Every structure is written in structure tokens, then in C-alpha cells.
A and B are shown apart, each in its own frame.
Chain A
Amino acid sequence: MNFSNETLKELYRLMVSVRHVDQAAVSWQRQGLLPAYAPELGQEAAQVGSGYVVDTSRDFVFPTYREMGVARAMGVDMVEYMSTHKATWHGGMYNPVETRLAPIQAVVGGSVLHAVGWAHGARLNGPDDDGTYPVAMTYFGDGASSQGDVHEAMNFAAVMAAPVVFFVQNNGWAISVPTERQVAGGSVAARAAGYGMESVQVDGDDVVAVAEATSRAFEHARAGKGPMVVEAMTYRRGPHSTSDDPGRYRTLDQERDDAGEDPVTRLRKRLEADGVADEPFFTRAVEDAKAEAEQIRAGIEALGSRPGSEMFEYVFQESTPALHEQARQWREESEHV
């Protein structure tokens, strides 16, 4: 698959944007703007390369809690995305139906089965006018691959021949436990064979390789050939979260040795070598990313808290008498009305 020069430049712009917003979010946490954040430093190629392939007019993506780069590549509003890290509302305030991105959720492996169900529904509905199926893509990591739900999801998907792409970001660490003590056999992709499923393991720090592998998996699923696993081998260069301290389980020397070359630098070198982009382009990409991060910051600051009464909304379609009474009591005690 050949990506046009414009596409390559777009991928670069996205990666630089994600890099800057991600690093800014860590700063915002340190400054007290965000209570917590899950950085994705080093995973920009895996996330942008895969998220870029999604057709938001028909596909659907089920993330975990570290997919800011996927959300950005899909065009999700970053303030609405960050609202979950701002602790404004669980799951983020973007509309999943409109954005095609399921809410952020923190149970590892928790939404993998949802993608299978969504994709099974796609099969039940029948193919689109072009004869192909919409695709559900689910993100999870090497840690989540230990969960029973992931096994059940892969088995169900294969039995149902559901158009699902299981996108595994194998970033080397599940908080403090390295892949070799997490994934028996060393590869999640290798498990696919046991389900009679195709799979590919890809250099997750090469955005072009990721985008190509994901595209092929989408074509496979769209054609009705069933699910596929894409395992992007990458490295979590930062902490698990802003509360984590990697110094307790790995040294800086180990990080340098294991992380490999930075994915953003890699793409830049390629664009330079191929004469696709020049210095003004790179400078502009950074300037745009900085401006974007500032805009997002302003948006987060302007968010404000949701009214306390919203705690009681959305529990059911219609509030129950008991819940109504609790809401009334809360209002009386907190607002003296």
C-alpha cells in the first residue's frame, strides 16, 4: 500500500499534535488542572497509524483509557475527551454515537467484548451498499490480554465471523510487570492461530507500517472474512499514569535500551530522506501543535463542574421515586432550598 505524500505529512502532523497534547496533559496534571492522566508517550505511531484508518461514517472504536492519539486521529473534540481526566464526567463528554468512539473506560479488557457484539450486529444488519461490512476496532494492551474477557471475545468473534479488528498495543509494561511475565509465549498475535484467526505483528513505532497493517485487517474484516488481530509492538516511554513511578521497576538505562528510536523522530527522518517535507513544514507542525494544546487547555479551564443534580440523572431512563427522594434530600441539604 502506498500512502501519498500528503497522507504521510498528515500522519506526521497528527503525531506531533498527539505528542504535544500528551506532554501538555502531564504538565496540566502537575499544575493541578487535571487530577490524573494516563500518558501515551512512545505510542503515537501505534495510535495515530491505526486510528487514521477508521472510517467514522461507518466503523466504531472501543478504547480503553490510554487512546488519546486514537481519539485525536478520529477527530474527537479534545476538550470533551480530556473531561474524563479533568474528573468532570466518567468516560469523557464526547457523544459516542456521533464520534464513533465508545466512552473511555478503565476496566482493562472491559470493552473488547462490546466490539464483538457491535460487529456481530453489523453482520446481522448485512453489508453496506458497497457489499462490505462496517468494522469494530477494539484497543487493549498486553496486560489486558491476560483477562478472560479477551479470550471470550476472540473466541466469540471467530465463531461468529464478526468483522472485528483486535488492536493490541503491546507496550512492554502492564504498570510494573513486563510483557515476559504477562504474555505466555511472548505474543498476543500468536494466539490468533488457536482461534483460526489471521493476525499480524507489526513494528508499532513505524506509523506507516501500523497504518498498512490496520488497513489490511480492515479490508479482511470488511470482506466478511471474520476478525483479525493486529499486535503493535511498541514501548510505553512514560509512566503508567501520573501517579506511577517507573523508577521502582525499571532503570533509565533500561528505558533507553528498550524504547528504541522515538516514533516521531523516525517519521521525520523518513520524510526528510524521501524529500517529502522540509524544515518549514516541521516547524509549522510544532507551532500548530503548541497552539492546539493551548486551545485545549483553555477549553478545559472553561469546562466548569457539572451541576450536582446530574449525579441523579441518567441512572435510569426515568428516575425512580427512591432516587427522586434522594435527589430532593441532597438539594435540600446542599443548597438549602
Chain B
Amino acid sequence: MSSMTLSRAINSGLRRALEDDPKVLLMGEDIGTLGGVFRVTDGLQKDFGAHRVMDTPLAEAGIIGTAVGLAYRGYRPVCEIQFDGFIYPGFDQIITQVAKLHYRTGGAVKMPLTIRVPFGGGIGAVEHHSESPEAYFAHTAGLRVVSCSNPQDAHTMIRQAVACDDPVMFFEPKRRYWTKGEVDEEITGQTPSIDSAAIVAAGDDVTLVTYGPLVATARDAAIAASDEGVSVEVIDLRSLSPIDFATVEASVRKTGRLVVTHEASQFGGIGAEIAASITRRCFYYLEAAPERVTGFDVPYPAAELEDHHLPDLDRMLDAVDRVMDRHNSLSGREG
């Protein structure tokens, strides 16, 4: 075990992946000598060579499309998209080719791509640098979509993603890149499975489901709620497609109350999918209608406004109050 930042944990996971399999290649913009704009690939080109850690021309469709061709040849490309808002030029290749080639070829051609995307807000960035586009990909059959929330998961999950024969969209919570934690780098195999959710705080009254950057906020919310006598169970989804509904269902059957929170906009989002599916699975166990705490249905606002947009501890607690049918703990308004 050693203590490292989330960013470093991904770096060490990529290093292990490069060591473990000569077919693993890293490609992206500025990932070589610079080490990526977030330094996630720092030092890897120096140690593994420019043929395995490749600076590409500045074109996202080019990166993804070229990776597809490499996958035809048995390579396992790991593509870095520099920022969430720059993935759209590569969107067509991801949706029409990466997601469908295994299906189109009746299983003859595998697409073991990992597409790394630093995502989410909270770092005071300019436009197109704070977005949460994960639902677009979760909506597309053939893509696995995951997000890590802590250094250990970042390390374990990136290695599992690279080893996975399906294409994996790997969303990295950029505002948590500098979060430190203990990391065991001697993991082997697939435990816990990359598509399993984790209960990160146990509780009995409310199930609070989230992923990526908001897991830390949700844990803080659970601590704050417990000061008021409300016991909140926090679930880190880890995988957004497929979703580990069994874990969420078991929790909601126990608590009877569900709150889902994510930075991404509400309409047609991950929260809607969870609310609908869990309502169907747990209808007779529910004490209240599921609540969503999300970014608003607006374009991601300028940095001076982003604190209004991003779900925070207070908004999560408000939703907890509503599903508990309690007076709002701040305003005193009825739930």
C-alpha cells in the first residue's frame, strides 16, 4: 500500500497495464513529453517509448478512428480525450463504429478500447472544460461506461478497463485528481468486478446514489445527516452502463427512500434511469417518490456561476429531507 493522488493512481494503473500486455498503447493529445494536461500519463512515454505512448495530431475523430484500426490488429488502445467537452468530434466514431463493430461482425472483431475522459466541473475552467457527457454514452448499446471516485478504484478500474474486451468509456473526476488515498497496486483479477457498485457509507433511512466527483460530497452529506439523526446509505455506482441495480435495489428495499445525484443535467440522465428502474423493482417498498439532485438543464455556466449549478451538500440534504418528509433543516419549510 502507498499513498497517492487519484491522478497518480491512474498513472500507476496505466504503467502496470503497459507492463502486463505489449499490445496496450496509449494515444492522445499532449500525453507524451508533457504527460497530459493533468499529468496523468507523466513519465510513461519516457519509460515505454513514443511508439507505445503516442502524441497524436489534434483531432478526436482521428484518435478514436485510428484506435479502431489498431484494435482490428489486436492492439488495446487507451485513448485520452483532453477534456469532456472535446469528445464530440470523436462522438461519431464512438457511436457508429466503436460501439457497433463487435455486433456488426457477429463477434469476429473485438474493440477493446479504453477511452479516458476527464469530466465534470468545479475547477473554475473556461467553456467546454467542465461537462458531464456520460449519459450520451450510457444510452448507446455496446459501450461500457464507468467512473471512479477514489484513488484505489481509479487504479483498479483503469487496469480492469484496459483488460476488458469491450470498449470502456472511463470517466475521471477531474476535480478529484488531487485527492489522496491508500492504493494497493498488487491487485490481480477482476475483484471487485468493474461493473459492481459499492456501498461507501452504510445507513438505514435513505439511499443516496451517485458516482465520480460527487461521491465525496455525498459522504459528507451522510455525515451531516447523521448529526440530525438521519441515517444515509451512500452507493458509489462505479459503473453507469451496465448499472448494478441489484445493489441499489437491496439498499432501497431496506431504506424505502432513494435520492440520486450527479453533476450532469437532469433530463434523460442517469438519475432518470435509476429512478424508473428502482421504482419498478421496489414499488411496494418505497416510502417516498425518488428524488434527483443534478446539474440544471442549462448549458454548463461560466465558472463564477458554477457553484449554483453543481449539486452540493445542502442540495443533497434538502432532497434527503424531502424523501424523509421532514421540514427543511435550513429553511424550516415543510418537505
User: A: which residues have CB within 8 A of B?
Assistant: 60, 62, 89-91, 93, 95-97, 102-103, 105, 107, 110-122, 124-125, 136, 148-149, 152-153, 155-156, 159, 313-317, 320-323
Tell me the minimal C-beta distance from B82 to chain A in angstroms. 16
Chain B interface extent, by class: 35 or more
Are A113 and B108 in contact (CB-based, < 8 A)?
A: no
Are B70 and A314 in contact, CB atoms less than 8 angstroms apart? no
Q: How far is the CB of B90 from chain A (nearest CB, A)?
A: 10
Q: Main SS of the interface on chain A?
A: helix
Q: How far is the CA of A122 from the CA of B69 in the complex (A)?
A: 10
Q: In the complex, what residues of A have CB within 8 A of residue B108's CB? A: 95-97
**A159 and B73 in contact (CB under 8 A), knowing A113-B68, A321-B242?**
no
Determine how close the nearest CB of chain A comes to the CB of B198; give it in whole angstroms.
Answer: 17
User: Given A110-B97, A120-B69, are A156 and B107 neighbors across the interface (CB < 8 Å)?
Assistant: no
With A110-B97, A316-B142, A320-B195 as known contacts, state yes or no: A115 contacts B69, CB within 8 Å: yes
Residues A113 and B102 in contact in the complex (CB < 8 Å), given A95-B108, A322-B243 = no
Q: Given that A118-B72, A155-B57, A155-B62 are contacting pairs, would A317 and B110 also be in contact in the complex, using a CB cutoff of 8 Å?
A: yes
Contact B109 A124 (CB under 8 A): no
**Provided the pairs A103-B104, A113-B93 are in contact, do residues A120 and B66 lie with their beta carbons within 8 angstroms?**
yes
What's the least CB distance linking B86 to chain A, in Å? 14
A103→B101 contact, CB < 8 A: yes
Tell yes or no: B332 within 8 A of A by CB: no
User: Could you tell me the distance in whole angstroms from the C-beta of A237 to the nearest C-beta in chain B?
Assistant: 29
B65 and A316 form a contact (CB under 8 A):
no
Q: Is B59 an interface residue (CB 8 A)?
A: yes
Given the interface contacts A114-B97, A121-B75, A124-B51, does A314 sit within 8 Å of B69 by beta carbon?
A: no
List residues of chain A with CB within 8 A of the CB of B104. Answer: 90-91, 103, 105
Question: Which residue of B has the minimal Cβ distance to A323?
Answer: B242
Q: Which residues of B contact A (CB under 8 A)?
A: 25, 51, 56-57, 59, 61-62, 64-75, 77, 89, 92-93, 96-97, 100-110, 141-142, 144, 164-166, 195, 242-243, 245-246
Would you give the shortest CB distance from A327 to chain B, in whole angstroms? 13
Q: Which one of A113, A153, A313, A321 contacts B245 once the chains associate, using CB atoms below 8 Å?
A: A321
Q: How far is the CB of A40 from chain B (nearest CB, A)?
A: 21
How far apart sit A280 and B215, CA to CA, in the bound complex (Å)?
A: 79
Query: In angstroms, how far is the closest chain A Cβ from the Cβ of B102?
Result: 6
Contacting residue for A320 out of B100, B165, B242, CB 8 A: B242
A-B contact pairs, 30 of them (CB 8 A): A90-B100, A91-B105, A93-B106, A95-B105, A102-B72, A103-B104, A105-B96, A110-B97, A113-B65, A114-B69, A116-B62, A117-B67, A117-B69, A117-B77, A119-B69, A120-B66, A121-B73, A121-B74, A124-B25, A125-B73, A149-B62, A149-B92, A155-B57, A313-B107, A314-B102, A314-B105, A314-B106, A315-B103, A315-B141, A321-B245
